A and B are shown apart, each in its own frame.
Chain A
Amino acid sequence: MPLLESLGSDLIEALIGLLMIPIGLLPDSLSAPFEYRFMQRALLTSVLVGAICGLLSSFVVLKRWSLLGDAISHAVLPGVAIAYLLGWPFFIGAFITGALTSLGIGAIERHTRIKSDAAMGLMFTAAFALGIVIISKIASSTHLMHILFGNVLGVQTSALMLTLLAGVIAILAIWLAYRPLLLYTFDPQQAQALGFNIGLIHYGLILLLTLTIVASLETVGIILVVAMLITPGATAHLLTDRFKPMLAIAVLVGIISAVAGLLLSFHLDVASGGAIVLVATALFCLALIAAPKHGLLVRVWRRNRLQE
């Protein structure tokens, strides 16, 4: 364990050093905040969170899992609270209740006549309520605010390590299982006919989603993390008709939003989660208007040309 930890902090140092190279090229007014140690760590966290959220968001958007993402992210709260009570690292509790809730949703959906959106709404509000009740009893309200809305400027080493680990796992999993994941997302019936283990892929993807949400908690917070799991993917979907470029664009949108949001949060002294999501939404609006093929401008222009 100590070996792993020192390896982790070495890796973090190396990555921060790497990130500082492009930062050095920026004008002083932009690069000045990164003199601070906490800003360097916040930057690395933002880049990582933006990248993994962006990566997963393509799957969430194409699989229509937005509500599921929202459900898991809310269901994480009681886990955080219980972990706080027991003195565990928060992400262990978060991961457990997030995963349990997604399994519970699947079970309700399969074995009762309740439809999936109702099953999700029911489970996640219940879990969230439990979390609120526990937290209102134990923790100070600032702590609650940070969990709910994120605080990337105060990110701790343990959370940074977790984010790094989640990033490595997500990238490896998607790279190694790229084709099964693509086929499952695109056409599950075909995946089934080719003998792929649908259940394994389905729950694997859900666990990956839960891991991403937990890893993003300190940065964007429970309430807003789902935006980072939808907006980058939706933006990328407007910009391309290919899957791999879509993954790449979504990752890029995620990173840009996270970094720009971090800067806004620093300069304007506003909540980091909100700032990040607003930047992502602005990028989405830009794509909506100006996308080369599916954008509004092109559509208007095409319609006018047809009428001539």
Chain B
Amino acid sequence: MTDTPAIEARRLCAAYHRQPVLTDITLALPAGQWTAIVGPNGAGKSSLLKVVTGSLQPLSGELRILGGSANQQRRAGKIAYMAQQEQMEWDFPVSVRETVMTGRYGLMRQDPWWQRLMPDHWANPAHRRAVEEALEAVDMRDHAAGPIGELSGGQKKRVMLARALAQQADILLLDEPLAGVDPPSERLILDMLERERRAGRTIIMVTHDLPSARRHADQVALINQTLVGMGPPAEMLSDAMLAQLAVGVAPRSTAGGVRAAA
């Protein structure tokens, strides 16, 4: 492991239709570690991940991924992303296995052209193996052939996680992977993420589950429109810091504070 941060943001600002959601964020998330991102609803945690994945263009500031340009690293398949699930089209006609396979689509660009024109079951065996392993890791092999529309909320979460895993990317960006899953699945997911971290991957997890963050994360980033603090879980998740987080210390905005106080 080198010292190059997995994700490095400098003076990053972002907005939806001129309404600011992120102001002046400067942070460096170390590679090979587990970072939990914590903050109130509407704080801009998902938006921060969207800036990293490229679906929200920053207004200003700089973003580097593993020391390189963000777009280049995305194209190289370095970023696996699991969105917060409300944004997905769940009645889309694909099976669970096909959904997980979409996690490999970026890497398929490196296959020879004739292999890329083949259907999934004739695709490069490396892709198929990665998909089966990922399904196994989240215990969804039994549902693999069924349509995604017929899964429960927790099962959907596990499928989305499997898709991110199948990519075997250096960085896992997970938006609330623990929300709405039952305790056994939560154990399964956390154990699996521990294995991924031991394998050298960077885990960046947005969560409202403070006990899990305390137990597993190497550090916590507190976000409320801007970076409120970053450091070891014991320090960041203290009552004093959490109180400060709820008020919001966003310097150039009152919106975050008002929302949190309301």
Contact = CB atoms under 8 A, between A and B. Distances in A.
A186 B53 contact: no
Interface residues of A, number: 29
18 contacts: A62-B92, A187-B83, A187-B88, A189-B81, A189-B87, A190-B81, A190-B103, A190-B163, A192-B55, A192-B74, A193-B54, A193-B173, A194-B74, A195-B71, A195-B77, A242-B98, A243-B93, A246-B93
Contacts of A191: 105
A113 interface: yes
Contact of B108 (A179, A237, A240, A242): A179
Given A179-B105, A241-B149, A194 B93 contact: no
A104 interface: no
Given A179-B108, A183-B102, A186-B94, A193 B116 contact: no
A191 B108 CA distance: 13
Interface string A166-182: 00000000011011101
Contacts of B108: 179
B50 A186 contact: no
A286 to B, nearest CB: 19
Contacts of B17: 113
Label chain A's interface by main secondary structure: helix
Given A189-B50, A194-B106, A240 B93 contact: yes
The 6 A-B residue pairs whose C-beta atoms are closest, nearest first, are A195-B75, A194-B106, A195-B74, A193-B53, A241-B147, A193-B81
B92 A186 contact: yes
B53 A192 contact: yes
Contacts of A245: 93
A240 B17 CA distance: 39
B3 interface: no
B89 interface: yes
Nearest to A175: B117
Interface string B72-110: 001111011101000111001111001100110110100
Nearest to B78: A195
A190 B94 contact: no
A295 interface: no
A190 B83 contact: yes
B221 to A, nearest CB: 20
B74 A186 contact: no
A196 interface: yes
A241 B93 contact: yes
A62 B116 CA distance: 23
B105 A193 contact: no
A192 B98 CA distance: 18
Interface string B50-81: 10011100000000000000010011110111
Interface in A126-179: 175-176, 178-179
